[in-house]
Amino acid sequence: MLIYASKRFGIAVLVAITVSLLSFSLIYLSGDPAMALAGESATQEDIENIRRVYGYDQPLVVQYTNWLTKALVGDFGYSNYMRVNVADIIFARLPTTMTLGGCALLFALVLSIPLGVLAAMRPNTMIDRFALSLAVVGQALPSFWFALILVFWLGITWQVLPITGTASWLNFVMPSVALGYYITPAVMRLTRAGMLEVLTSDYIRTARAKGLRPPVVLFKHALRNAIIPVVALAAVQFGFMLGGSIVIETIFAINGLGYLAWESIQRGDLPMMQAIVLILACFYIVLTFLADMLNAFLDPRIRVG
């Protein structure tokens, strides 16, 4: 396990270094960063001053090392547009996005895993068809459209849920459902497929022949094996929801990280873009690493192989 963990950790570190290089190079995508920061009415003197103050006159290797060293201790620079340290605004908005992503993932898992298990236990029955229909609708329905339907019925017509903001847990219900429903089909199909395969395997037949109770066979022996790819998928989807919730955050006026990324691109807020890309990518890397570890814990064949 230790050797496997070390290998995966090494790969994660290499990916993180590659991502950091890409994030760093973002600042040069729009040309001269000193000119971009100085603004439209800046004089050559202003531009040179900014170049010196921000260290853009140093060799690229030195710039990258300085930037990475600061980033590792949470110093991502200063946002000229927002007039704050980038880290302050990101860490202020991160909880909102984490809450939204976590709630959406919870909703997706709570809905899709039981449905996937039920569908696998009763293949080609009404339950299976219902689960399949739910998956098809979830896959086909654009999340913004589903969000607006929720707003119309739950927010305007019945007025049971608040529409915008993050003032209470109730504010997160509609956005979580809208965001989580989008990943439900993938998780459900994977659970169903895994369970179908596992339920027809020899060791399950043996467990049943030993006279074990059906719930024990199902949850202790079958689901534990079928859930392995779901864990990996859920980790990746969580990463997707952290960075990809722009539309949902816009509709429900939630000031999260995804929305901040979109705004920063529009404003040309380069330090903010760099930091968001780096942080979200690191989340992906950490989540993937954790998923690998969990998979290895659940299935010894992985760590041996």
* Residue ranges that bind other proteins, judged by CB under 8 A: 37, 41, 46, 49-50, 53-54, 72-74, 78, 80-84, 87, 89, 91, 94-96, 98-99, 102-103, 148, 151-152, 155-156, 159, 162-172, 250-253, 255, 259-260, 263, 266-268
Closest CB 70 distance from other proteins, rounded Å: 11
Nearer to other proteins, 14 or 170 (CB): 170
Closest CB 94 distance from other proteins, rounded Å: 5
Strands (E), 231-278: none
Closest CB 27 distance from other proteins, rounded Å: 15
> 236, 250, 243: which is closest to 289 by C-alpha?
236
Closest CB 285 distance from other proteins, rounded Å: 15
| Residue 77: both structure tokens together | 């620079």
Nearer to other proteins, 94 or 302 (CB): 94
Nearer to other proteins, 42 or 294 (CB): 42
Nearer to other proteins, 7 or 70 (CB): 70
Closest CB 174 distance from other proteins, rounded Å: 11
Query: What 3 state SS string does 34-84 have?
Result: HHHHHCCCCCHHHHHHHHHHCCCCCCHHHHHHHHHHHHHCCCCCEECCCCE
Nearer to other proteins, 144 or 219 (CB): 144
How many DSSP H helices and E strands does the chain contain?
Answer: 16, 2
In angstroms, how far apart are the furthest CA atoms of the chain? 84
3-class secondary-structure state, position 254: coil
Share in percent of the chain as helix, strand, coil (round to 5) = 80, 0, 20
Closest CB 150 distance from other proteins, rounded Å: 10
Residue type, 221: H
Nearer to other proteins, 131 or 235 (CB): 235
Which residues touch 245 (CB under 8 Å, ≥6 apart)?
97, 100, 101, 104, 175, 179, 256, 258, 259
